[in-house]
């Protein structure tokens, strides 16, 4: 069963459960319990008597990737230092990809890619700001030189605001820079 269908199953059970005020209604809805979710669902704790079959969504198991799915492929991942880019770089490497990670948080980005390399994967790190042409040229050159080309790029680095990602959060000082409409978005001001 596809993960998407599993999640829809959970949502459906939760939605029906929300109106289950009586034992009769609860019994009727038990007919539409979600299917067994295997490792992706876990019992609601403590059990919810109003929502039979209610489950939590389990964290992704460590083995939720397809070995060799990207074997021999080279993927550039921008914004690899942290967050979703870091997760994607790990996942792609474990699925067999050669990964070129890019980030302007040089120490953090290098540390991430070093960790992935230490686990036995073939990766490279390029430090730089992806809004600069020279960074983009270097990441492609690195992929070509190290792995012979580029098969895919996960253009994950991006900002919805004008705050440099290495800057600590300080809402009072930064509020004029956060969540600007697209037509007002500015290049993040890098400090320090």
Ligand X SMILES: NC(=O)c1ccc[n+]([C@@H]2O[C@H](COP(=O)([O-])OP(=O)(O)OC[C@H]3O[C@@H](n4cnc5c(N)ncnc54)[C@H](O)[C@@H]3O)[C@@H](O)[C@H]2O)c1
Residues found near ligand X in the complex (CB under 6 A): 78-79, 81-85, 103-105, 129-131, 156-160, 165
Nearer to ligand X, 9 or 85 (CB): 85
Whole-angstrom Cα distance, residue 102 to residue 124? 9
Please, what is the minimum distance in Å from the beta carbon of residue 80 to ligand X? 7
Contacts of 83 by beta carbon, 8 Å cutoff, 6+ apart: none
Nearer to ligand X, 73 or 110 (CB): 110
Q: Which residues pair with 123 in a beta bridge?
A: 99
Nearer to ligand X, 28 or 160 (CB): 160
Please, what is the minimum distance in Å from the beta carbon of residue 109 to ligand X? 7
**Residue whose C-beta lies closest to ligand X:** 83
What is the residue whose two structure tokens read 């992929």? 143
Nearer to ligand X, 16 or 130 (CB): 130
Please, what is the minimum distance in Å from the beta carbon of residue 105 to ligand X? 4
Please, what is the minimum distance in Å from the beta carbon of residue 112 to ligand X? 9
Please, what is the minimum distance in Å from the beta carbon of residue 132 to ligand X? 8
Nearer to ligand X, 37 or 130 (CB): 130
């Amino acid at each position: 069963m596809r993960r998407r269908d599993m999640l829809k199953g959970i949502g459906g059970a939760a939605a029906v459960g929300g109106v289950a005020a009586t034992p009769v209604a609860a019994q009727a809805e038990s007919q539409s319990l979600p299917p067994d979710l295997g490792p992706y669902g876990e019992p609601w704790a403590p059990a919810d008597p109003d929502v039979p079959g209610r489950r939590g969504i389990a964290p992704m198991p460590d083995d939720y990737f397809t070995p060799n799915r990207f074997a021999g492929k080279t993927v550039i991942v921008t914004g690899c230092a942290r967050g979703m880019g870091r997760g994607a770089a790990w996942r792609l490497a474990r699925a067999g990809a050669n990964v070129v990670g890019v980030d302007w948080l040089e120490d953090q980005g290098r540390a991430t890619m070093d960790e992935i390399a230490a686990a036995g994967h073939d990766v490279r790190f390029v430090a730089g700001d992806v809004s600069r042409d020279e960074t983009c040229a270097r990441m492609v050159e690195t992929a070509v030189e190290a792995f012979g080309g580029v098969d895919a790029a996960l253009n994950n680095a991006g900002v919805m605001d004008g705050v440099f990602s290495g800057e600590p959060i300080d809402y009072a000082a930064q509020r004029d820079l956060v969540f600007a409409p697209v037509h007002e978005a500015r290049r993040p001001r890098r400090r320090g």
